[in-house]
Structure 1
Amino acid sequence: MEWRMQAIRGATTVSKNVADQIAAATHELLDAIESENRLSPEHIISVTFSVTKDLDALFPAAAARQRPGWDAVSLLDVQHMHVTGSLPRCIRVLIHAQIPVLHEEVCHIYLRDAQQLRPDLSDRAVSVSSNRE
């Protein structure tokens, strides 16, 4: 299998606009994406985080930068477009990486209340084991 550039999507939510919750949710999401896609930071080209307008206590990229090997990854935070009635307190991620899988084998991860954004992916069981708080 040859390596290809792929886009990996994911999202999660927090219950409050608190830096510790944003950091923990970001780590939980990235742990799951790395695990399910057999992804290492050296394979990552760039990562864009978007957050809903009700999250401003911490940049998710600041949390990601603390991860082993992620200090050399190009990271960007943006505010997600607001649509009335959309999912609140949501952190989304778009990762571009070189990985040895075909597009249909990429595992996009939606955790917590963000699972409702992609109900078509809800049948994928994702085990998340994180020691971060």
Structure 2
Amino acid sequence: MVRGVRGATTTEANDENEILAATEEVVGQMIKENNISPEQVAQVLITVTPDLNAAFPARALRSFDGWTFVPVMCATEIDVPNALPKCIRIMMTVNTDKQQKEINHIYLKNAKQLRPEFAR
């Protein structure tokens, strides 16, 4: 069965190292809490708000063992007035036997306000 695993986080600045570290943190938790192996992953879509352009957050996934061949794409979120700034969102499409209610979606830092029911 195919399921979507969501995650989001924020950074303090439009800084390459900060974007990569924040992405690695949230994706690492998504992997750990959902017991995801790279072979289960069909694709990962990462979006950033328009104020984050210092790095491609997809690069952070290459730090995980075995993730070299996982298809990853970055895009920019639509520029909605008063939206949460400096936000990185992840949609990971995985093959899993888990039911939707068993998926652990990960929301960190200021992104907790996006989905308080999933906040860490």
- TM-score tier after normalising by the smaller chain length: over 0.9
Unaligned ranges ≥5, structure 2? none
Deviation at 1:33, TM superposition (A): 0.2
Match of 2:14 in 1: 17
Match of 1:8 in 2: 5
Q: Secondary structure in 1 aligned to 2:63? A: coil
- 1:107 equivalent to 2:93? Answer no
Q: Secondary structure in 2 aligned to 1:9? A: strand
Match of 1:89 in 2: 86
Inter-partner Cα distance in structure 1 for 2:37 and 2:118 = 23
Q: Which contiguous aligned blocks of 4+ residues in structure 1 show a shift greater than 6 angstroms? A: none
Alpha-carbon RMSD: 1.0
**Count of aligned pairs:** 120
Residues 74-131 of structure 1, C-alpha deviations (whole Å, 9 max, x = no match)? 1000000111100000000000001121111111100000000001223xx5xxxxxx
- Name which of 36, 41, 47 aligns with 1:50: 47
Compute the TM-score of the two structures, normalised by the length of structure 1.
0.87
Inter-partner Cα distance in structure 1 for 2:97 and 2:25 = 23
Match of 1:128 in 2: none
Inter-partner Cα distance in structure 2 for 1:99 and 1:121 = 20
Compute the TM-score of the two structures, normalised by the length of structure 2.
0.96
Code of the aligned partner of 1:66: S
Unaligned ranges ≥5, structure 1? 126-133
- Name which of 22, 26, 31 aligns with 2:28: 31
Inter-partner Cα distance in structure 1 for 2:118 and 2:58 = 25
- 1:98 equivalent to 2:95? Answer yes
